[in-house]
Structure 1
């Protein structure tokens, strides 16, 4: 294994099929055959609240910030899902801000073939199992078919340049993750637009970070994403992608529903103090994470800017716990640039072509993998684990059943949980910078296109007292919804046992991390030599 870099082309050749797997259009077996295993300014009408439930007062109690228990005690709305997607391009849109503070406004850019449409804002949470609450709904708005997109000749970035349809005021909206549902008149189609109402501060709270840069990298709306273009080839990929376009996947929700929503529901059900932010917020605001009890990276959080990494590292070094609930985290180094609609709305990542990047020529860090030269900085120094390959589909094997995170699960050494390791995985590899002491909880054999290896779930404690936990598998958050009855997790054969395991471990983790620096009460006991037989 080359510790300097993972060959980009070998990995990216199969990534175009990745989201088909995540959204249920493919199976793990089918994906493996094609993928390479790589180790390594128009006038805007301001919408006004209308109808019952549209002017909810902020949740009270709990001091500054969101009162999670009070918010989730409110009645939910189980009809939030897209039930009638309609034909392609019937209705779709995007917000001109990835996140806003409570009470701020954002623009909504909508294209539809219907004469009129409405917007419904759902806050995602637990709500007694409904998973969402209707916070606001618009009056009927005039629909218009927006101009066709263009593609930048140099970067192959898709541009929409759609005029703003309307402005949305978030007065009275609690902090959290939102899906705005666009409903075309006459049932012609429905589509989501995600937006985060972010927290102004994180002191004493567990910060859930929406991985929006990764959502956008995998977005192929307009035919181009960060992995390929219409030809399906790596060479035709976008070198920059923009938030100024709808999301193609999951009815416009991007990666949120598969990789993030199940964790949001669980955390809000627990009622621990929470704060919300996006990856672009963490990158932009140096002090946002100050005093945070914990920072949570969700199921697929691959694209990070150097600023985001520096701010998360500083939070860890100040005692904030870090939970990494996916795999392949902090792998791509990006640069955030403005678009015509505002700052930080363009994700630049040239990958193996970084030398062509005008920003690199001006002295910016290479937008290649963090572990690659120039400026190699492997992600393991922060996460404890390192990305090792794709694609795999393997059982999750418990190695350390006495660990406090397994409390209440009843697991024994060698217990296996089918399909829980996939589709990407991480491991502890001391050939890379690895914080010590680090403790391996699960050590699962995998074979990635003929190459035997292992997936590891690991926990280490930092000098600051912070605890850092990494699942080492991308299916962890998805498995939280696995019931074995054909609903959550069914796409990968995840069953109720996997759902029960991941739920209990995540509950133990979130409660302990919410209480303060976990390393002070739960220090890691290094077992790398016992597991791997090395140093």
Structure 2
């Protein structure tokens, strides 16, 4: 009975996070449900398969399971959990995995690269030999900060020089095939690679850690949103962590909340042959991104937490002629700082006090005299870069109502002013704030104006924005969580949004 109760507490953490997902689900719909999620099919469907994207190959009557049918590990027993010591690596480098297995037994690692791959959704890249698994020490907890930096290195994945840049997932599976977990990582371009790809995809790993409640065990875990009280109930932001560590697994199935939004864009973009390079928000923070080498930086998913170096890098990119494409909403809302981990590795701790009180000099303190860690409170509203900014949560998905459909972005979509794209305004929404200064621009257009109700039933509206900076760079903001899912998410694809996104990327690639 005790284990059953713990399991329910873990699920309650999952559901608490789900309120910020546009469809009330975890990072991918099928990760929070049994493997055989596709009605009428007996065999397991891999978690990365997109079943309804235009051009998707029909599934065979009994497709062989590509990963098998183990259950996802949970955070209570931690049957198998792991994380990588570095989130990004160049071809020829290595990814060190730290893994705990309870009870100790051998395990396997299968590595997949996310992409279209004729509709498969990913390609198997590597399989490990049997690896002896150990039960690692309990996570270290200081205040609300949970870290596993003291775990032993378990296995080194050497990245072959010929591997393509991309978003990768290491799938950890116990040798008895009973449990599995996932570890995401990113392979960047080869060092000194020329010429550079036209589009640089920036994966929001900083925001992913802000939401990470590992371990969701009813006792220890904490994120920047939640923690647990002494009775095993979730508490909110006022009692949540102000510092979280990158040195720990992701909660639940091991993939970040909202990771599906990035994968939706990747599958669609690679299907149509867009030239992509890959980096993370941490790379942007660390100065490892050179925007002038690319036509545009694409931010494909929910990207809420930005440090000052991240923002300055994006501003320099725009002012230097590199376009910015934001395919979500509530971007650049919280102002954060990244600091070294306990062993001195740079940028392994994420600090953000939100509205809590912290001691003077704390890395989470933010700017002196500010009421919170909002960029708005720091005197730099996000609209001054993005063109719109966060307006509120959307109680239930509603249609996006197109506006100014004469604009080239809507070419070929068949949309006219006032036409609706069902369910496209979901999760959270942005709009233009008339009392907030706009960035310098030579042209600017609001491409949607969509009424919705927030969670308190109050009427609000969403807007999609595009402006052109004096440098010639375009800055696009979708203003809704549901834009990337409309590109390649099962049950949510829309050919009009696919065409509009293609129009946008084609234009910024030519304008660079």
TM-score normalized with structure 1 length: 0.77
Does 1:446 find its partner at 2:452? yes
Superposition deviation, residue 363 in structure 1: 8.3
**2:209 matched to which residue of 1?**
216
Whole-angstrom distance in 2 between the partners of 1:263 and 1:138: 29
- Contact 1:94–1:109 (CA under 8 A) maintained in structure 2: yes
Matched ranges for 1:314-325 at <5 A: 314-325=316-327
Q: CA RMSD in A?
A: 2.5
Decide whether aligned partners of structure 1 residues 92 and 18 sit closer, same or farther in structure 2, where only a CA change above 3 A counts: same
**1:461 matched to which residue of 2?**
468
**2:79 matched to which residue of 1?**
90
Does 1:383 find its partner at 2:371? no
Superposition deviation, residue 263 in structure 1: 0.3
* Gapped regions of structure 2 (runs ≥ 5): 1-14, 28-62, 216-220
**1:191 matched to which residue of 2?**
181
SS in 2 for 1:356: coil
Superposition deviation, residue 151 in structure 1: 1.9
Does 1:131 find its partner at 2:121? yes
Offset from partner CA, 1:140-175 (integer Å, 9 cap, x none) = 10011112223212xx11122211112221123221
* Gapped regions of structure 1 (runs ≥ 5): 1-13, 27-76, 483-487, 518-535
Superposition deviation, residue 240 in structure 1: 0.7
Decide whether aligned partners of structure 1 residues 83 and 500 sit closer, same or farther in structure 2, where only a CA change above 3 A counts: farther
Does 1:510 find its partner at 2:505? yes
**1:478 matched to which residue of 2?**
485
Whole-angstrom distance in 2 between the partners of 1:363 and 1:429: 24
Q: Which residue of 313, 329, 332 maps to 2:331? A: 329
Whole-angstrom distance in 1 between the partners of 2:364 and 2:248: 28
- Contact 1:22–1:258 (CA under 8 A) maintained in structure 2: no
Whole-angstrom distance in 2 between the partners of 1:120 and 1:283: 30
Q: Which has the higher helix share?
A: 1
Whole-angstrom distance in 2 between the partners of 1:503 and 1:398: 14
For these two proteins, the number of residue pairs brought into alignment is: 437
Whole-angstrom distance in 1 between the partners of 2:468 and 2:65: 43
**1:399 matched to which residue of 2?**
403
Whole-angstrom distance in 1 between the partners of 2:366 and 2:432: 33
**1:120 matched to which residue of 2?**
110
- Contact 2:205–2:282 (CA under 8 A) maintained in structure 1: yes
Superposition deviation, residue 384 in structure 1: 0.3
Q: Which residue of 296, 299, 304 maps to 1:297? A: 299
- Contact 2:321–2:471 (CA under 8 A) maintained in structure 1: yes
Q: Which residue of 250, 275, 291 maps to 2:277? A: 275
Decide whether aligned partners of structure 1 residues 139 and 479 sit closer, same or farther in structure 2, where only a CA change above 3 A counts: same
Whole-angstrom distance in 2 between the partners of 1:354 and 1:319: 40
Whole-angstrom distance in 2 between the partners of 1:196 and 1:140: 24
TM-score normalized with structure 2 length: 0.80
Decide whether aligned partners of structure 1 residues 407 and 197 sit closer, same or farther in structure 2, where only a CA change above 3 A counts: same
- Contact 2:351–2:363 (CA under 8 A) maintained in structure 1: no
**1:149 matched to which residue of 2?**
139
SS in 2 for 1:510: helix
- Contact 2:353–2:366 (CA under 8 A) maintained in structure 1: no
